[in-house]
């Protein structure tokens, strides 16, 4: 990583969505590596509130923060009074914005745009007021069915989530022109790793296949899964990209993937090896043909150049690093 343990002494960091998958991993990165930095987490946490598709509105969970000793604020980024309080009573040096309606199947276009786009503008204004660098979560969903490798500038979102993230990117570019703070958007590809379990059905297929195998169930894959390819990226490389984005060469929008496309069949085969199972796969028809990405692969050339980012986890390495946590979650939460 670019920082030594002393570089962030007395620096203040806000992480929105800090009880979620990526936000909580960021929180522990700073706690473990920069204990003298002040980390403040803002998260709406989960309630019983659901979207029209039946999925939870918020995936934030206290268990993702067990062991975290920084400040935690329960609140919604749509709450302007809350953001005013943050503006007046805090002074942040860095803002990591991970909070969002992140369910790609959500149908509430109004809530999606309000939360992902309008509230982000308020957070950008907070960053400008504090002279804080902004690092935020964009998404590979901005590309829709654009051909591989996906490159910034070739966006074609096919759902409101992807549209909202592209709108965030467009807004960021406007702020880049008129402010001196650094603004970096990171387009995450298919992320997997610890702390994703509480995303429920939107957790990665690495976790879902792992739990199928541990339950003794045959893994169920779509027909032709050896030809359905994705850029799967382990959380360790996502954290690396975020940390390096704190002091980029240039503000901008950058892909964060491995630059390699791997298949769903690869996931199952690697998991079976790591878990010591040999259950036969069941292949089912793919009901999403026509509205399904069959190949994603991040072009990371500009990410390497601007951030000094270099992926370090092949899928085999990522799953090997993750498998003990997959087992722990299965024992404590699933069985």
What the block records as the tokens of 314 is: 């092949």
Give the model confidence (pLDDT) of 195-226 as tens digits: 999 999 999 999 999 999 999 999 999 999 99
Predicted confidence at residue 104, as pLDDT, reads 87
Q: Which residues are known to be catalytic?
A: 161, 199
What the block records as the tokens of 217 is: 């169930």
Q: What is the DSSP secondary structure assignment for residue 35, as one 8-state letter?
A: T
Given strand 183-188, what is the order of strands in its sheet? 71-74, 38-43, 12-16, 94-97, 133-139, 183-188, 252-256
Identify the band that residue 292 occupies on the pLDDT scale cut at 50, 70 and 90.
Answer: low
Identify the band that residue 16 occupies on the pLDDT scale cut at 50, 70 and 90.
Answer: very high
Predicted confidence at residue 230, as pLDDT, reads 96
- Compute the average pLDDT of residues 187-200: 97
What percent of the chain clears pLDDT 90, i.e. is strictly above it?
Answer: 90
- 309: domain CATH number is 3.40.50.720
| Cβ–Cβ under 8 Å, residues 66 and 124 | no
Q: In this structure, is residue 199 part of a structural domain?
A: yes
What the block records as the tokens of 53 is: 């598709």
* Whether the predicted pLDDT of 166 surpasses 80: yes
What is the b/e burial string over 160-171, where b = at least 16 CB atoms within 10 angstroms of the residue's CB? bbbbbbbbbbeb
Predicted confidence at residue 290, as pLDDT, reads 64
Q: How far apart are CA 24 and CA 60, in angstroms?
A: 9
Q: In this structure, is residue 267 part of a structural domain?
A: yes
Q: In this structure, is residue 260 part of a structural domain?
A: yes
Q: In this structure, is residue 296 part of a structural domain?
A: yes
Please state, in angstroms and as integers, the Cα–Cα distance from residue 128 to each residue in 37, 42, 78, 191, following that order: 20, 18, 18, 29
What percent of the chain clears pLDDT 70, i.e. is strictly above it?
Answer: 97
Q: How far apart are CA 55 and CA 287, in angstroms?
A: 20
What is the b/e burial string over 29-51, where b = at least 16 CB atoms within 10 angstroms of the residue's CB? bbeebbeebbbbbbbbbbeeeeb
Give the model confidence (pLDDT) of 82-132 as tens digits: 999 999 999 999 999 999 998 888 989 999 999 999 999 999 999 999 999
pTM above 0.85, yes or no: yes
Predicted confidence at residue 288, as pLDDT, reads 76
| Beta-carbon count within 10 A of 277 CB | 15
Q: How far apart are CA 184 and CA 173, in angstroms?
A: 10
Q: In this structure, is residue 291 part of a structural domain?
A: yes
Residue 220, helix vs strand vs coil: strand
| Cβ–Cβ under 8 Å, residues 141 and 101 | no
Q: Domain containing 270: what range?
A: 12-334
Q: In this structure, is residue 173 part of a structural domain?
A: yes
Give the model confidence (pLDDT) of 218-268 as tens digits: 999 999 999 999 999 999 999 999 999 999 999 999 999 999 999 999 999
* Whether the predicted pLDDT of 27 surpasses 60: yes
What the block records as the tokens of 310 is: 């270099």
Give the model confidence (pLDDT) of 39-61 as tens digits: 999 999 999 898 998 888 899 99
Q: In this structure, is residue 242 part of a structural domain?
A: yes
Q: In this structure, is residue 2 part of a structural domain?
A: no
Which residue in this structure is represented by tokens 């950008």? 124
Number of domains in the chain: 1
- What is the DSSP annotation of 226-294? GG-EE-EEEHHHHHHHHHHTTS-SS-EEEEES-S--EEHHHHHHHHHHHHT--PPPEEE--TTTTSS-S
């Amino acid at each position: 990583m670019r920082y030594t343990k002393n570089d962030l002494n007395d620096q203040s960091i806000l992480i929105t969505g800090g009880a979620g998958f990526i936000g909580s991993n960021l929180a522990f990165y700073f706690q473990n590596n920069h204990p003298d930095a002040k980390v403040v987490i803002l998260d709406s946490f989960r309630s019983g509130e659901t979207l029209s598709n039946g999925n939870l509105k918020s995936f934030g969970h206290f268990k993702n923060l067990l062991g975290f000793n920084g400040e935690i604020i329960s609140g919604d980024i749509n709450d302007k009074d809350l953001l005013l309080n943050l503006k007046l009573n805090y002074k942040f040096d860095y803002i990591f914005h991970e909070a969002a309606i992140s369910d790609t199947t959500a149908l509430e276009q109004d809530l999606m745009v309000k939360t992902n786009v309008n509230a982000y503008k308020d957070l950008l204004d907070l960053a400008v007021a504090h002279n804080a660098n902004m690092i935020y979560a964009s998404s590979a969903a901005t590309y829709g069915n654009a051909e591989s490798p996906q490159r910034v500038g070739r966006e074609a979102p096919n759902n409101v989530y992807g549209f909202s993230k592209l709108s965030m990117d467009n807004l960021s570019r406007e702020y880049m022109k008129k402010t001196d703070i650094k603004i970096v958007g990171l387009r995450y590809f298919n992320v997997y790793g610890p702390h994703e379990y509480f995303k429920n059905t939107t957790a990665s297929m690495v976790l879902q296949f792992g739990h199928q195998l541990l339950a003794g169930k045959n893994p169920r894959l779509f027909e032709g899964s050896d030809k359905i390819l994705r850029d799967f990226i382990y959380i360790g490389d996502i954290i690396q990209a975020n940390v390096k984005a704190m002091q980029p060469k240039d503000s901008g929008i950058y892909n964060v993937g491995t630059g390699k496309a791997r298949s769903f069949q690869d996931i199952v085969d690697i998991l079976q090896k790591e878990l010591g199972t040999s259950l036969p796969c069941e292949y089912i028809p793919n009901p999403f043909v026509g509205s399904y990405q069959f190949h994603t692969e991040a072009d990371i050339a500009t990410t390497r150049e601007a951030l000094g980012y270099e992926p370090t986890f092949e899928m085999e390495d990522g799953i090997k690093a993750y498998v003990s946590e997959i087992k722990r979650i299965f024992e404590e939460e699933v069985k």
